[in-house]
Structure 1
Amino acid sequence: MHNFVKFITHYVKSISLPRLSKLTIVFTSALLAACSQQEAATPKAIAPGVTVYSVKNIELGGHREFVARTVPFQEANITARVEGQLVKRHFEEGRFVEKNQLLFEIEADSYQASLTQAKADLEGKHSVLETAKRNLARGQEVAPQGFISQSDLDKLITEDLQAKAAVSSALAALEKAELNLSYTQIKAPFSGRIGRVNVNTGNVVGPTSGTLATITANDPMYVSFQIEEAEVVSYMQKNMSKQSRNETPVDVSLKLPNNTMYDQMGVLEYADTKISESTGTIDMRAEFKNPDGIILPGLFVTLMIDGQDKKPQITVPQMAVQENQQGKFVLVVDEQNTVAVRPVSLGRRINAMWVVESGLVADERIIIQGLQKVRAGIAVKPTEKNVDAKTGAVQDLVN
């Protein structure tokens, strides 16, 4: 090509001007013809293939999410109520125990001896009482005949009353001795899981020894959360305007710390009677059945409340959403299969989908696969497919 240009340049310099004009016309015509043939031989750009999804309306209620904490249904710190050596433990740490199951034994010899002494003391007091009763009966019998003075009769009455009081005192001592002996066997107050033991056998324990172990009942499980005071007031105003204090029915669900949904629905179980002055919130509590023990106490979870009064809302697959400096957007394919950028305002996420608050209408087609191959304004070859709302898997349309 370089040699050809040099030849043409040399040839043009060697010819006259009139002849040069004619040659220029001929040469230009030849170049234009060659260019036209080259353009005709170049194929047109092929429209890239993309996968599109037709957005749909689904019925959704009002939605709120709260950071919450799981709280056991029942919890008790097991402590010793009498002092003595801890001689035996009857459970394994972390295991389930039944109500009234024996957990610990405290040495009972001294308490058994106290019980035996209390029984003997009670028998002695009963003997004294029987004697006082007989003496009083005889005195009352002969007093009318003047065989004993009134002062002697009063003394017999006093002795009888003192003997009765002594029996009552001995009986109370016996009951206390029996109670103390029963406290040497520490039993589970309810069914649940028992945690780590804080005191080993052989140690002397008592009321001041602190917690021996903690037992929790985790079925059902409470979930504690707070609501801001402004929402509480709005809720009360809404219900009062209907002249009704009936609660609006809601669906209560739970997202676990590993971002999976708990398979049991809950119920709102408790609301405090006043707003906290320090936080400006009201304490609330939901209850979830926990038969398999999946929910443990102390977890940070996400509590979700959905109103049962539902309305249609558009959802899109999360894979279709992109973001730039102006915000989130999707790529829409119109009826002429041309790509356009559509800014969207998004709400909550539901599994693999994202709720669209504004920016799209039902049945519009958005690109879900092939996003890297397209830009605004170009034509594409769309293939419509469906998306599993839970997993996000792309699926063929079902006819």
Structure 2
Amino acid sequence: MNYDTRITADADRGVTSSLEGYGQAEGSSRRKWLVIGGLAAAILAIVAFLLLTGNEAPVGDDRSQAPTVTVVVPGRTTIDAEINATGTIAARREMPVGVVGEGGRVVSVPVEQGQWVRAGQVLASIDRSVQSQQARSASAQVQVAQADAQLAQSNLDRALQLVERGFISKADVDRLTATRDAARARVEVARAQYNELLARNARLNIVAPASGLLLERNVEPGQVVGGASGTLFRIAKGGEMELMARVGEGDLVKLAPGVQAEVSPVGVETAYTGQVWQVEPTIDPQSRLGVARVALSYAPGLRPGGFAKATIKSGTVVAPMLPESAILSDSEGSYVYIIGKDDKVERRGVTTGFVSGSGVAVTQGLNGTERVVLRAGGFLNEGESVNPKLEKASGE
């Protein structure tokens, strides 16, 4: 091979290499444009699909994108209406006992608070050493008066025998008769004075006016008491208690004597059954509360002065009953969401009644046939389309 041949060969290879490089570059550019075109077509297809599905959603039956909510048709139920109240336990008939007589030094107190006492039982005794001597003196005065009366009667009897014989005039008989009558009167006066002293001495014993539970004892032996000493004992007549339940004026008009109530004192697991025996006729002008007095039989767990809760029966109502989760509230008041026509959410204002373990009574706003959103109503908007899922109402 000569020099010219090599040049020619090299030149041919250079041309070939240039042509191959140009072909490769042209193929790479073509593939790039093909990829870009394919992506653009895919994007256009997606946009067209979304536009088509978006236009069809309002008029179609496909609600796969709408949220699913649980609804309930509450119906109407006969409900035992209840009123919840709080108050203080007290003795239904509390009897304060103090000094009735002139008083003096207390010598004995034979009872303790918490004990049962009977009517007339001695609660405390006051020293009566001076009064006893006065009573003995009065008793002696009665005997003296009786002796004088007997002597006057004897003188009159003798005079009557002598007047028949003419030894004594009729005037003397009249005088002796008057003397006899005066002596008899003095006997009655002496007896009255003696009985008065006995009554005064009896009042030195402080006694229970009626049977009941002794709540307080405010006196000790050696203490000097009198009319100004105040209340020495407090007795709950018959041991009967009551709850002074404070009730709103709107609920107070629903109560009447005889309705049943359940009372639960604080710290006691037992609930005690009683009944309203009096509804006080006045309302506190500041708190707007009245008092319903619930009578209770004696029980160790009922302590006067203690705090208690009461559930008072106030008749029956026929109304829808909803769980608390279905009731919403805002500045406009209480409301629920119902599912109306075309499964769209509607707001409905309601008036609620009492709350119990079964739910909340809806006294106004619902007739019981609506589909009410049971839960998560706070995440819905009025007019929103939903997929309702019916749940049976409680009790069905």
TM-score scaled by structure 2? Answer: 0.67
1:290 counterpart = 2:297: yes
User: Which residue number in structure 2 is paired with residue 124 of structure 1?
Assistant: 144
CA deviation digits over 1:68-106, x for unaligned, max 9?
877643222211223221111122234443333321111
User: Which residue number in structure 2 is paired with residue 306 of structure 1?
Assistant: 314
User: Which residue number in structure 1 is paired with residue 20 of structure 2?
Assistant: none
CA deviation digits over 1:353-399, x for unaligned, max 9?
32212222225443444556655525357473665xxxxxxxxx77x
State how 1:45-194 maps to structure 2 within 5 Å: 52-59=71-78, 72-82=91-101, 83-194=103-214
User: Structure 2 counterpart of 1:346, which letter?
Assistant: T
User: Structure 2 counterpart of 1:29, which letter?
Assistant: A
User: Which residue number in structure 2 is paired with residue 332 of structure 1?
Assistant: 338
In the TM superposition, what is the alpha-carbon distance from 1:202 to its structure 2 partner? 0.9
1:346 counterpart = 2:358: no
SS of residue in 1 equivalent to 2:125: strand
In structure 2, runs of 5+ residues without a counterpart are 1-28, 52-62
1:32 to 34, 40, 44: 44
SS of residue in 1 equivalent to 2:334: strand
SS of residue in 2 equivalent to 1:125: helix
1:264 to 246, 267, 273: 273
In the TM superposition, what is the alpha-carbon distance from 1:124 to its structure 2 partner? 1.9
- Measured at CA, do residues 383 and 57 of structure 1 come closer, stay the same or move farther in structure 2, by a change above 3 Å? closer
Distance (Å, rounded) in 2 between the aligned partners of 1:341 and 1:270? 40
In the TM superposition, what is the alpha-carbon distance from 1:338 to its structure 2 partner? 6.0
SS of residue in 1 equivalent to 2:111: coil
Q: Which one has a bigger Cα radius of gyration?
A: 2
Distance (Å, rounded) in 2 between the aligned partners of 1:261 and 1:105? 40
User: Which residue number in structure 2 is paired with residue 219 of structure 1?
Assistant: 240
1:209 to 225, 229, 243: 229
In the TM superposition, what is the alpha-carbon distance from 1:50 to its structure 2 partner? 5.8
CA deviation digits over 1:195-231, x for unaligned, max 9?
3333332122223332212222252648699999xx9
Check whether the contact 1:253–1:262 (CA below 8 A) recurs between aligned residues: no
1:366 to 367, 372, 375: 372
Check whether the contact 1:105–1:184 (CA below 8 A) recurs between aligned residues: yes
CA deviation digits over 1:97-156, x for unaligned, max 9?
333332111113223323322222222221111111111111122223222233322221
SS of residue in 2 equivalent to 1:199: coil
- Measured at CA, do residues 117 and 64 of structure 1 come closer, stay the same or move farther in structure 2, by a change above 3 Å? same
SS of residue in 2 equivalent to 1:145: coil
In the TM superposition, what is the alpha-carbon distance from 1:22 to its structure 2 partner? 11
Distance (Å, rounded) in 2 between the aligned partners of 1:178 and 1:249? 46
Check whether the contact 2:261–2:294 (CA below 8 A) recurs between aligned residues: no
Distance (Å, rounded) in 1 between the aligned partners of 2:272 and 2:72? 29
In the TM superposition, what is the alpha-carbon distance from 1:350 to its structure 2 partner? 4.1
SS of residue in 2 equivalent to 1:196: strand
Distance (Å, rounded) in 2 between the aligned partners of 1:337 and 1:379? 6
Distance (Å, rounded) in 1 between the aligned partners of 2:330 and 2:292? 40
Check whether the contact 1:49–1:383 (CA below 8 A) recurs between aligned residues: no
Check whether the contact 1:254–1:302 (CA below 8 A) recurs between aligned residues: yes
- Measured at CA, do residues 253 and 33 of structure 1 come closer, stay the same or move farther in structure 2, by a change above 3 Å? same
- Measured at CA, do residues 366 and 98 of structure 1 come closer, stay the same or move farther in structure 2, by a change above 3 Å? farther
SS of residue in 1 equivalent to 2:231: coil
In the TM superposition, what is the alpha-carbon distance from 1:34 to its structure 2 partner? 6.4
In the TM superposition, what is the alpha-carbon distance from 1:346 to its structure 2 partner? 1.9
User: Structure 1 counterpart of 2:273, which letter?
Assistant: Q
1:251 to 259, 265, 269: 259
Check whether the contact 2:92–2:295 (CA below 8 A) recurs between aligned residues: no
Distance (Å, rounded) in 2 between the aligned partners of 1:355 and 1:201? 60
TM-score scaled by structure 1? Answer: 0.66
In structure 1, runs of 5+ residues without a counterpart are 1-14, 16-20, 236-247, 388-396
User: Which residue number in structure 2 is paired with residue 18 of structure 1?
Assistant: none
Distance (Å, rounded) in 2 between the aligned partners of 1:62 and 1:341? 27
